[in-house]
Structure 1
Amino acid sequence: MSRVRRLLPLLGCVLLGCVLLTLYAPGGLLRRDEPPPGPVGWPPYDLAGSIEAAQHRLRRNPDDAAVWASLGTMYLEQARRTSDAAYYGKAGAALRRSLRLPTGDGKPYIDAVIGMGALANARHDFAAAVRWAERARREAPHRWALYGVLADAYLELGRYEQAESTIRRMLDGRPDLASFTRAARLEQLHGRIGPARELLRRACLIAGDPAEYAFCQWQLGELAWNDGDPRAARTAYTQALAADPGHVPSRAGKARAEAALGHVKQALRDYATAVAGSPSYVVEYGELLQHLGRRATARRQYAVFTAQHKLLAAKGDVDHLALGTFEADHGDPRSAVRHLRAEWKRRQSVEVADALGWALHRTGRHAAAAAYAARADRLGGRNALFAYHRGEIERALGHREAARAHLSRALAINPHFSPIRAARARKLLAATP
């Protein structure tokens, strides 16, 4: 990733480079502790209106492959901003319709091919995403969107060297929001928070519409949250919501930060708003309720999670990572191990390694758990939850000094990383000499 950073001063056109250097150089116009300027002059974000307009055009011309592909991409964007998986089915139907329609050169419409790769990533079928992206690369190697699909898939598959190579190509060919945000994620995985933050700030500067700006600010919020700064996180989430009030991940992030800052009533209101828009955050909401002693209400949130995933499983869309993580903490750890072993066969990322290690620990297989926990740390990232899990596993193995070191590291990275687990980490440290 050092090679990626060396490329950044050379990125893109001279004008963009001069703007970024002027803003961020020592003594520049924008100090490093200041947020980037907010969106100016953008109209209110109306993705639903754009979808309706595309549907209207298709009623007049149902054989327009380009509009079908655009509609599918907009459905994917709606799924991302609302965390509502129901849009995946709509996106898939629109993209497949585009692929079936004839085009002038007799080839499938390339945006639909790329869109199918993005949809596969969204559905956690990362191997399929690679296949779609490679197909797009064979037909149109200079369509930069395909490299974003490929980089996302490699990151989720745990193929980090290939992800870095792909991101480097994106930065070489088209330094834009897509390449900056992906480079930032890779920096974060390596624990390089400063460069990751700088990349995201630059991405915010070149966001082209409220959706892009909200996405960048949300990522800045996630970065600040994971680095233990709930105030900066809340500021970024609030800026995201100012640009796009319907951005559910930012609403949930704001709730998380508010809880850490002691604004519990507002946190509960924001969580309720988030889960009303999407059930993706019901477990997080439930854990806060559980921490506050509202166990019956928390159980209702967990029941929503279980019902949601039963519906998805009935459609053949099983999220083994989400189910395994939930079962390890709130259900049957043996079921968690089954889910996570299945996921490990599909992809060997640090997230899956951590989750599988924790599930094995919960079933009493602490030695096997320790191997996966160590693997989760192999990139050198700063992840409080990984450190906490490793501390609990070392404690179960009787390694008191190692346990204390990892639990202390978890709280040093982010003392608010989880209302339940952070409290337990403090309790264990207080009880361990």
Structure 2
Amino acid sequence: MSSTTSTPTAQGPAVLVLEDGRTFRGESFGAVGQTVGEAVFSTGMTGYQETLTDPSYHRQVVVMTAPHIGNTGVNSADGESRRIWAAGYVVRDPAIRPSNWRSQGDLAAALRDGGVVGISGVDTRALTRHLRDHGAMRVGIFSGEAALAGEQQLLQVVRDAPQMAGSALAAEVTTPEAYVVAPPEGTPTRFTVAALDLGIKGTTPTLMAARGIQVHVLPSTSSYDDVLRLQPDGVFFSNGPGDPATADHEVELLRRVLEDGIPFFGICFGNQLLGRALGLDTYKLTFGHRGINQPVLDRETGKVEVTSHNHGFAIAWPEGLPTDQPADTPYGPVRCSHVALNDDVVEGLRCEAVPAFSVQYHPEAAAGPHDAEYLFDRFVELLTTGRGTRAQA
């Protein structure tokens, strides 16, 4: 739900109301008015500008666990998309003033300009512990005149808001028109990839282009014929917000890709959709994985990567089958290639009979870490081997 704002320079009391009735009071930070969304916490100590501009945070109110936010300001280079997508922002101690040679403005002003209602002075440790114990839930931030209403009235506003489960949001964040990200000057074009924008971050096609891939970024509503017209060497599905159970159009498109043996790579939402295309289920995590310090085991190399995450849904591995054993699918065996070490969540898939793989986390990882950037090289290797052959029953 979009925020409603009043005078940008106004400051004053603000209140945060969770759908279970718990309330936190603080000061207005950013735009003044009211906003509702799903309360989630991010454990990143840096990269707040990249977090705010990640379309995966659409309709989410982000609680920052690091206490000091805004120290490095904001700039025109670090945004991952054309706007701030977070529905609201919660911090404990905002910077009094930014201090960084790259800074071109302060965070509070960027939030005001983007119409993003926030709150500061909140005990974010207590709020995070509450969400960790009770799970992600709907929340509202109210400031200015909106904060003057009674708590029961504000609570009802929160409880009337839509839940994340069952929400189809990719069409709300996707590009309205197709565009191309070409390899930089001096880098020869080796491959053409059709990238379905489900909430893509700008760094993703940039990293592919640096490897000689001409990336055609397509709206999420694109048809399989739209993809084939590009005569792509591969297909990519991006990260994005919402419930993967709602993405029937994208799943059917992906099944056509698998049937024709076109190399496929998916990230985050794209990983969940590969799981659905293969016949696996998805489910909502209690509080999700968000931040830039999540440990993941790559079973192919045996290495543990520190990775960047933002997902509230995950792939359900077949009941009773260990994740180190392959699952049977209509497209041949599939393996859980990566696993989260904190809670054993499936963090990646690798198909054995069709040229397709995916990961749940963000290997482009602006503003870091960069442990998983090698996955783009793995995609290039898959493109180099060409089209696969579907296993015959």
Normalised TM-score (structure 1): 0.26
More helix by share: 1
Rg larger for: 1
Structure with more relative contact order (C-alpha pairs < 8 Å, separation 6 or more): 2
Please state which structure has a larger fraction of its residues in strand: 2
